[in-house]
Structure 1
Amino acid sequence: MIPSRSYPSTIAAPIDNEIVIKKSRFIAHVAPVGSPDDAEEVISRVKKQHWDARHNCVAMVTGVLGDQARSSDDGEPSGTAGVPMLEVLRRRELTDVVTVVTRYFGGVKLGAGGLIRAYSSATSEALDRAAPVRREMLTRVTLDVAHVDAGRFDNMLREWAPQHGARLDEPHYAAVATFELWVPPAELRQLTADIAAASAGSVVPVVGEDRILDVP
């Protein structure tokens, strides 16, 4: 068995969630991003939308391993907003995610502890509503199949892929039908055996590069 390592997850789509604490509104916007530049675009868009808010605090984690991070208190007392938000992202083992929590001040001061809980809760509750997307290292495998056998292999691979944690892309039809799968390394031997059995050894999988991909 080939050992596998785990990678931080991300989320499928942006989520907004609002909580109210002592008349202050905390509006959390959490979004998946592909890079720090993408995150900055999200931050700019939220700040433009909520230009009249007292604070737009930020936390982001990016990179395949979640090794890039940044946070901002945006005028709140140091360490009471951005860092607690960032800690929520870290605890949930997420990456390629940015969260902006907008605060409309309600006239009642919350104190340092109250702010930490508010910004943490706003972020956590938004993430509770987000759809997680797992990430894994997968290996590219291609199969060239004669057109006469394409339908049979298409059915077989569509059934095989979800059972083995693999991802099947749409086939490409030219001189032959080409199927492309992304397969967990530990399942490569099984795929090779199953293809050999299905084709009496006439179809040989071609193993390509490894990539870290989203696995719904």
Structure 2
Amino acid sequence: MPYTLPAPVHSELTIKKSRFLGCVESIPDRHAALARVAQWRTEHPSATHVFWALMAGGHSAANDDGEPGGTAGRPMLEVLRHQDLEGVLATVVRYYGGTPLGAGGLVRAYTDSVAQALLKAEKIPVVRHQTLRCVLPYALEGWLRRELASHSASLVDVVHGAGVRATWRAPETQAAALVSCINDAGHGNVVWLGAPDGIDG
């Protein structure tokens, strides 16, 4: 089961006079990650490097920012993978202290920066959601609102017309049961709009 972080976690290491400032935080996608990395660069204009690794949306990415290939971003990414994290960005800011660390030393420094931050992390399971749309009779609107709440689902949008067109999001683990419950209550009067695969609308 993949996990994410409810709050950012940080680390600070000093190795042979080089400072390594680590941060691991929740991030939704690559676009947001690149914007966050740019923010780190702005906040640390005199830093030698800003390295990052991303696991989000089932995709991964890593950046060595000028260090020898495979010594920064990829080791950081492996820590995220090993901890089964999803939707997270790991960033390490390095202030060079004048003493080269060598390839092995760099790998250890960046791995440790991420691992030390994650020692303080609370990890929570990633809950994947599905968005569903249906049209139902007005008489069921109040019932639907109560039923969604009892299934950890949320109403996204309601449009009133010939019937009530409702858009809602539910955890994947609850969606099929909720669809079945709505169908039972609707007695054949619920129309599903683009029901996802695997759910009998």
Does TM, scored on the shorter chain, surpass 0.5? yes
After TM superposition, the structure 1 = structure 2 runs for residues 53-68 of structure 1, keeping only pairs within 5 Å, are: 53-62=47-56, 64-66=57-59, 68=60
Choose which of 142, 153, 157 in structure 1 pairs with 2:134: 142
| RMSD of aligned residue pairs (Cα, Å) | 3.5
Q: CA deviation at 1:96?
A: 4.9
SS in 1 for 2:148: helix
SS in 1 for 2:194: strand
Task: Determine the structure 1 residue equivalent to 2:89.
Answer: 98
Tell me the alpha carbon deviations over residues 55-74 of structure 1, each in whole angstroms, 9 at most, x when there is no partner.
22222345x331x5232153
Q: CA deviation at 1:101?
A: 0.3
Task: Determine the structure 2 residue equivalent to 1:3.
Answer: none
2:78 paired with 1:87: yes
Q: 1:186 to 1:205 in 2, by over 3 A?
A: farther
Task: Determine the structure 2 residue equivalent to 1:17.
Answer: 10
Task: Determine the structure 1 residue equivalent to 2:106.
Answer: 115
CA contact under 8 A between 2:24 and 2:90: conserved in structure 1? yes
Q: CA deviation at 1:110?
A: 4.8
After TM superposition, the structure 1 = structure 2 runs for residues 135-174 of structure 1, keeping only pairs within 5 Å, are: 136=128, 138=130, 140-146=132-138, 148-159=139-150, 161-162=151-152, 167-174=153-160
TM-score by length of 2: 0.71
CA contact under 8 A between 1:57 and 1:102: conserved in structure 2? yes
Choose which of 61, 64, 70 in structure 2 pairs with 1:69: 61
Q: 1:119 to 1:65 in 2, by over 3 A?
A: same
CA contact under 8 A between 2:133 and 2:167: conserved in structure 1? yes
Give the Cα separation in 1 of the matches to 2:174 and 2:11. 43
TM-score by length of 1: 0.67
Gaps of 5+ in 2: none
Give the Cα separation in 2 of the matches to 1:191 and 1:48. 47
CA contact under 8 A between 2:145 and 2:155: conserved in structure 1? no
Tell me the alpha carbon deviations over residues 171-205 of structure 1, each in whole angstroms, 9 at most, x when there is no partner.
515234333334538853x3344224434x15425
Choose which of 31, 38, 46 in structure 2 pairs with 1:44: 38
Choose which of 182, 190, 195 in structure 2 pairs with 1:204: 190
CA contact under 8 A between 1:43 and 1:100: conserved in structure 2? yes
CA contact under 8 A between 1:59 and 1:85: conserved in structure 2? yes
Q: 1:132 to 1:126 in 2, by over 3 A?
A: farther
Question: Letter of the aligned partner of 1:20 in structure 2?
Answer: L
Q: CA deviation at 1:145?
A: 3.1
Gaps of 5+ in 1: 1-5, 212-216
Number of residue pairs matched? 192
2:26 paired with 1:34: no
